[in-house]
Amino acid sequence: MEESHKNILRRNRTNLVKDLDPSNLYDGLLEKGVFTHDMIDEIKSAGTRRDQARELVRDLETRGSRAFPLFLECLQETGQHSLAELLQNGAPAVKIQPATPTQVDRPVPPLPITPESQDIRPRPPVRTRRDSIQSYKMDASPCGHCLIINNVEFDPESELSSRKGSNIDCEKLERRFKALNFIVEVKTNLKQKQIKHQLSALSKKDHSQYDCCVVIMLSHGTEVSHSRFPGAVYGVDGQFVPVQHITNYLNGQHCPSLQGKPKLFFIQACGGGERDTGFEVSPDEVEPSIGGADDQTDAIPMSSSSDSLSMSDEVDARATLPTPSDILVSYSTFPGYVSWRDTQSGSWYVETLDRILEENAATDDLVTMLMMVNHEVSQNSAKGLYKQMPGSFNFLRKLLHFQT
């Protein structure tokens, strides 16, 4: 398929997934040779009408130069005129021509068994395709809430340095998630109790009309004892909140209106490390590298969970929590290691995440995009020596495609 036609399908994917009726199209697409019997069967196995529509549009991009006009023709023939007009307005040069004869799989009478015909190999069984996994419903408008907690200036008694460049990260992510149709709320310079208050308030909202919820933490971090999700983030008062507790506020037990819906957590903070807080690479030490001269870390030495927060001081911190589902926690760095931040352009992780979402959200699912982030950040280096490896703890059950 021509790239211009692929772009039209991608731009209109949300409307196609929302309104397309694939069941009426199968016979026409088969008759015109756009899809084979096996491909139709695989699309049907995707699940709901919405999932089948998404699978059909995705497969359509692989079906040659005539697939797009033939798809428009099928839409017209099945009475789905509004969708056909929507796509055709984006491609004025496309003219729907009668399909030329195409070889398609048609039923034929059984052949008599002869010695020669016995050599014909049977068709192999249809294998379930990996991309036939169901997808989360993500078409509510707005899609859901996004809370960003941006800790930049820390209290002197906390002995934590200011996080220069974090406001750049915050602005990028605020703009990005608004573009993805989220209600974005930004809170700046929160103490530990204020962080917990904001998370509690978010968990008490009625999310029934939304499809997703996002929490973004930009702060100093440390390594703590944990039973599920590693790491912790600091309030500006020097008291931390374990990531494990942060996720508990929105799990199925404590936020019923988000049950079965994806809950995404993005953590830009160190998972640990022995470097001094806010260590800054001096210009004369910098060797040629992708990282900048103003790279800093968000690392705090490892702490015991009893330093500033008891594991049993609130309901959602109990040791016997239900297994989390529909939760994804994306970390800027591997647990126990530092996370690098340029004081002029922001953190490696957020800068890359923002760009990957901008370039790929229309075509790829979240987990695939996070793998792209992992790869690109891993290529960076500070002082020509230090590296960073993002990663995630993924408890999602389905593919997640953002609105674009």
Spatial neighbors of 280 by CB under 8 A, at least 6 apart, are 294, 295, 296, 343
| Marked catalytic residue, from 207, 220, 245, 401 | 220
pLDDT the model gives residue 261: 95
Tell me the two tokens of residue 117. Answer: 């015909």
Residue count (the chain) = 404
Residue 103 banded pLDDT, cuts 50, 70, 90: very low
CA-closest candidate to residue 233, choices 356, 346, 135, 149: 149
DSSP letter for 92, please. T
CA-closest candidate to residue 155, choices 231, 234, 221, 269: 234
Q: Identify the weakest region by mean pLDDT among 72-86, 324-338, 363-377.
A: 324-338
Instruction: Give the containing element (helix H, strand E) for 161.
Output: none
Is 60 exceeded by the pLDDT of residue 113?
A: no
| Marked catalytic residue, from 170, 212, 213, 270 | 270
Q: Is the CATH number 1.10.10.60 carried by domain 1-93?
A: no
pLDDT the model gives residue 335: 65
Residue 220 annotated to the active site: yes
* Higher per-residue confidence, 140 vs 125: 140
Residue 81 annotated to the active site: no
Tell me which fold the domain 144-394 belongs to: Rossmann fold (3.40.50)
For the stretch 340-388, pLDDT in tens is: 777 777 888 999 999 999 999 999 999 999 999 999 888 876 666 667 7
Q: Identify the weakest region by mean pLDDT among 225-234, 287-296, 335-344.
A: 287-296
Domain residue limits, the chain: 1-93, 144-394
CA-closest candidate to residue 4, choices 104, 87, 73, 85: 87
Spatial neighbors of 126 by CB under 8 A, at least 6 apart, are 38, 41, 42
- List alpha helices for 45-135, DSSP H: 49-60, 67-77, 81-89
For residues 327-338, give the mean pLDDT: 82
For the stretch 36-46, pLDDT in tens is: 887 888 888 77
Tell me the two tokens of residue 320. Answer: 């016997």
pLDDT the model gives residue 58: 85
